[in-house]
Amino acid sequence: MARKSASLTGNPRLSQWIAFLTDGRFELRLGKVELGQGILTALKQIALSELRVPEEAVVLAAQSTDAVPNEGLTAGSLSIANAGDAVRRVCVQIRKMFVAAAASASGIPVSSLVVKNGAVLDDTGRVVATYQALREHVNFDVDVVDADEGGQEASGADNGLSLLRLDLPDKVYGRPTFIQDMGFPDLLHARVIRPPVHEARLGVGAEDVLAQVRSPAHVHRDGSFVAVLADTEEDAYLEAARLAAVIPWDVRAQMPPRSVRLATWLREQPAEAAVLQDVKPTGAAEGQEFRRTYFRPYIAHASIAPSCALAEWANGRLAVWTHSQSIFHLRAALAQALDLDVSAIVVHHVQSAGCYGHNGADDAAFDAALLAMNAEGGRPVRVLWSRPDELGAAPVGSAMTADVTARMDADGAVSDWSYEVWSNGFLGRPGFSGNPAFLGESHRVGRGPLPPSADPRPEGGYGIGRNAVPGYELDGVRIRQHRLLTMPIRTSALRCLGAHFNVFAVESFMDEMAVAGGFDPAAFRLAKLADERAKQVIQRAAELAGWSERRAEDGFGRGIAYARYKNVSAYCAVVAEVEATEDLKVRRLVVVVDAGRVVNLDGVLNQLQGGALQSVSWTLKEEVQFDQSGITSLDWEQYPILRFTEVPRVEASVIDRPEEPSLGVGECVNGPVTAAIANALHNALGVRVRDLPLNKDNIIRAISDSPD
Amino acid sequence: MAIKTLRLQVNGEVREVTANPKAPLLFVLRNHLDLKAAKFGCGQGLCGACFVLLDGHPTQSCDLPAEAAEGIDIRTLEGLDSKPLQDLFIELQAGQCGYCLSGILVSATALLKKGRGFSREEIAKALDKNLCRCGTHGRIVEAVFRAQEA
């Protein structure tokens, strides 16, 4: 019997998850939130398939801390497993309750009854009773039982069918739907003025600048936390821009110096060391020794919408509207930062643009809450971040560097693998490390600075060390990590955390050994995998890409990469085809994923295509720029992302395994795509680039550094 | 800050708005005229989320002062006849977070008004001023491509 998911453990009552409305519809109460990944649609699809009701019979409850179960964070590619399991069990139990009630009322045995379209039918297809008619005979105020999943018998909706995205029509037909589209009567508009790097205070002369604020706008200042407020958005926006251009900041952070390469700087910082694995080789550990070093820079979330929040303080109660990944953790952190009782705060979730991890959402929520508590007349406040702040003040994904060594014998067997990685932590979320960790809070009188980010523990799938353990049969594996204790550039969780860089490094290194030994890179990997599911994604990707038919062609190259996300989640293999003449262009990606039982196939493919293209962007273009004054990549020209004309063909497919637990696919593609591109680049040019991004500068440097 | 009465031609109607004439057109459309489709993405004219048609051309509204838009035909997504195109976006599920879609639909509508028979490469080129961060480019281009036959 499958273990109950984490979502149920904290929320054991059926009535926490679902209500039977008086009009006969079901209201599904979900704690996982929509980030653009399609999770609400997939979860509703599970409910429809297990309740056996038409689409309009299930509605989703508005998500607030007053109304939905606490499912923690929507992150880590865990929603379909945890929330999916919860919804499935709940709906199976409800269906069985109705069937039992119908059996009891009619005398027909349970085994002769089926459910179709919200009605219980006998084996002639006659309606015995509708759900609505059985209302008085079912009670949802019970515990969720430890029943087997309903699954196979008749979950038609799961088998290759895909409920259309519930939220897409409003977005396509231009109807207001995002948090940025929300408003209230008598709303006060706010813009926060922020320093170019988090560890900073207002400089000398700031007070004079702020005194120049032009009516009807006014300023709220608390230490170095500064906001401009006005009755109209344009007045707050224009006035904030005007003041921000001249306000002086005193940068306290020791930024990485330009004279020293960032990879070197990472190694030199004070850090907390940890050994993640230390398995000694049992065999002879012979063969050629390989030693390589890899690097990736800081990478920004770069969501298309700047973060936004609204808040209202009335009658001693705080209400906040946010796109945070965890409304419950946020509520606790707000209570701590604002010295309120948790019971005095309600947090509502409203969608924003794509969320790829811990971005500015929580900070914007704090900004709005603080300003609302200081707003005259209890007016509600709306905060919208600026684009420069979204790129420069939100946390970013850490820069990372690693040394990899191993031995490979004449037969290609690899032993004595050592991996040592340096990085900032990936856990700076508010409410997670005993510190409210809000950017705005850190700038208030007597507070701050933000402590260096912590890192998820092993139970949380690691951060820095995620996928540092290679998923191959290797004789002897030693993994060490160093978490930096200085954090001039603010880091936290960005999609797949350390797995992006670790998979890039591991899969590049595997490729380097394979090529040096004259082994086919796909066969080299297959020979070191015992897991059939791992082998099959590689074999399928190779087959679909015509891997064995490839021929060397001037300026063209192919590369392959594989990883199992977190070593326990979805399996992914990627073949990349690149053209490397003037610039590096990715022409085609073949992506094959095994995510266990597929719920919403189109949703899965959408996420795989999306994750792949985002990773192409990271790989070819992205690096946070900075100098001694702070972060300087503050607009789309200084932080370019992939454009329509640069997009390769992406052929994504899935190996569906209905008998296996569902696994999330939001993060499994990024690492393998980067590695496959790097491997393809080597195949095209004969040059190994070990520093991301694979832009002109890094490629040219690798060419000039290389021994030939 | 000055307040002025602006006369704007929006979606085929003359609308009078009393606002700061330097306000970005985007805020006037969204907040004074309740036309929420065009989105704020950057305020720097670099992402296309705020695109509207000005005299038929896809133009950023985030860094254009409202007073500069007087006397020009302004069309937002709400005022465009793009249903066949939009229906295809639904059919192909061409969206993940969807925030970029309004600006993209405006660009695509302008393209399809110019003619038909564009290749996927030409469509990509026409959309090159629009950014999509979720990686939905493939589906979006496909939807526009298929809309040519609709």
Task: Give a three-class secondary structure readout of A323-348.
Answer: CCCCHHHHHHHHHHHHCCCHHHEEEE
Predicted confidence at residue A155, as pLDDT, reads 44
Contacts A177 to B, Cβ<8 Å: 98
CA distance linking residue A29 with residue A69, whole number of Å: 7
Q: How far is CA A167 from the centre of its chain?
A: 19
Q: For residue A290, what pLDDT is reported?
A: 98
Residue A160 confidence (pLDDT): 55
Tell me if A213 sits within 8 A of A228, measured CB to CB.
Answer: yes
Low-confidence ranges of chain A (pLDDT < 50): 1, 151-157, 159
Handedness of CA B58, B61, B66, B67 (dihedral sign): negative
Q: What percent of chain A shows pLDDT beyond 70? A: 97
Separate counts of helices (H) and strands (E) for chain A: 18, 26
Contact status of B41 with chain A (Cβ, < 8 Å): yes
Within A622-669, where are the H helices? none
Q: Do B42 and A635 touch (CB under 8 A)?
A: yes
Q: How far apart are CA A104 and CA A107, in angstroms?
A: 6
- Choose among A174, A351, A612: nearest Cβ to B77: A174
What ipTM was predicted for this assembly?
Answer: 0.98
Interchain contact, B132 vs A644, CB within 8 Å:
yes
Give A164's DSSP letter.
P
Backbone Cα Rg of chain A: 27
A167 vs B: CB within 8 A: yes
- Is the minimum CB–CB distance between B76 and chain A shorter than 8 Å? yes
Which residue of chain B is at minimal alpha-carbon distance from A163? Answer: B93
Residue-level pLDDT at A1: 43
Nearest CA in chain B to A615: B135
For the four alpha carbons of A18, A23, A25 and A29, in that order, the dihedral sign comes to negative
Nearest CA among A22, A64, A564 for reference residue A328: A64
pLDDT tens track for B108-118: 999 999 999 99
Instruction: Report the percentage of chain B scoring pLDDT > 70.
Output: 99
Give the DSSP H or E segment for B86.
helix B83-91
Do the Cβ atoms of A172 and B89 come within 8 Å? yes
The 3-state DSSP composition of chain A as helix, strand, coil percent (nearest 5) reads 35, 25, 45
Q: For residues A585, A589, A595 and A599, what is the CA-based torsion angle, rounded to 10 degrees?
A: 100
pLDDT (tens digit, 9 = 90+) per residue, A482-506? 999 999 999 999 999 999 999 999 9
Rg (C-alpha) for chain B, rounded Å, is: 15
Is the Cβ of B100 closer than 8 Å to some Cβ of chain A? yes
Chain A residues near residue B144 by CB distance under 8 angstroms: none
Q: What is the pLDDT of residues A320-378, one digit of tens each?
A: 999 999 999 999 999 999 999 999 999 999 999 999 999 999 999 999 999 999 999 99
Indicate yes or no: CB of A352 within 8 angstroms of CB of B99. yes
Per-residue DSSP letter, B94: -
Query: Could you tell me if A387 lies within 8 Å of chain B, comparing CB atoms?
Result: yes
Residue B37: closest C-alpha in chain A? A174
B72 at A interface, C-beta within 8 A:
no
d(CA A545, CA A562): 14
Q: Which of residues 580-609 of A touch B (CB under 8 A)?
A: 602, 606-607, 609
- pLDDT confidence of residue A73: 95
Separation of alpha carbons A62 and A455, rounded Å: 32
Query: Hey, is the C-beta of A299 within 8 angstroms of any chain B C-beta?
Result: no
Terminal alpha carbon distance of chain B = 48
What pLDDT is attached to residue A227? 98
The answer to whether the CB of A622 falls within 8 A of the CB of A642 is: no
What's the pLDDT tens digit per position in A593-647?
A: 999 999 999 999 999 999 999 999 999 999 999 999 999 999 999 999 999 999 9
What pLDDT is recorded for position B150? 74
Interface touch B46/A602, C-beta < 8 Å:
no
Q: What is the DSSP letter of A692?
A: S
Chain A residues whose beta carbon lies within 8 Å of the beta carbon of residue B46: 635-637
Q: What distance in Å separates the CA atoms of residue A179 and residue A481, rounded to the nearest whole number? A: 39
H/E element, A277: strand A271-279
Count of CB atoms within 10 A of residue A642's CB? 24
CA distance B77 to chain A (A): 6
From A637's Cα to the closest Cα of chain B, the distance in A is 8
Q: What pLDDT is attached to residue A4?
A: 73
Which amino acid is it at A563? Answer: A
- CA of B60 vs chain A CAs: smallest distance (Å): 14
Kindly state whether B6 is in contact with chain A, defined as any CB-CB distance less than 8 angstroms: no
Q: Which residues of A touch B76 (CB under 8 A)?
A: 174
Coil vs helix vs strand at A218:
strand
DSSP run (H or E) holding A251? strand A249-251
Which of 326-365 (A) contact B at CB < 8 A?
351-355
b/e burial code for range A81-102 (CB count within 10 A of at least 16 → b): bbbbbbbbbbbbbbbbbbbbbb
Residues making up chain B, counted from first to last: 150
Distant-in-sequence, close-in-space partners of B51: CB < 8 Å, separation ≥ 6: B38, B58, B59, B60, B61, B102, B103, B104, B106, B107, B129, B130
Q: Give the model's pLDDT for residue A157.
A: 45
Which residues from chain B sit within 8 angstroms of residue A647, using beta carbons?
124, 137-138, 141
Are the CB atoms for B96 and A610 separated by under 8 Å? yes
* CB of A238 less than 8 A from some CB of B: yes
- Read off the tokens for A484: 């930096």
Note whether A187 contacts B: Cβ–Cβ < 8 A. no
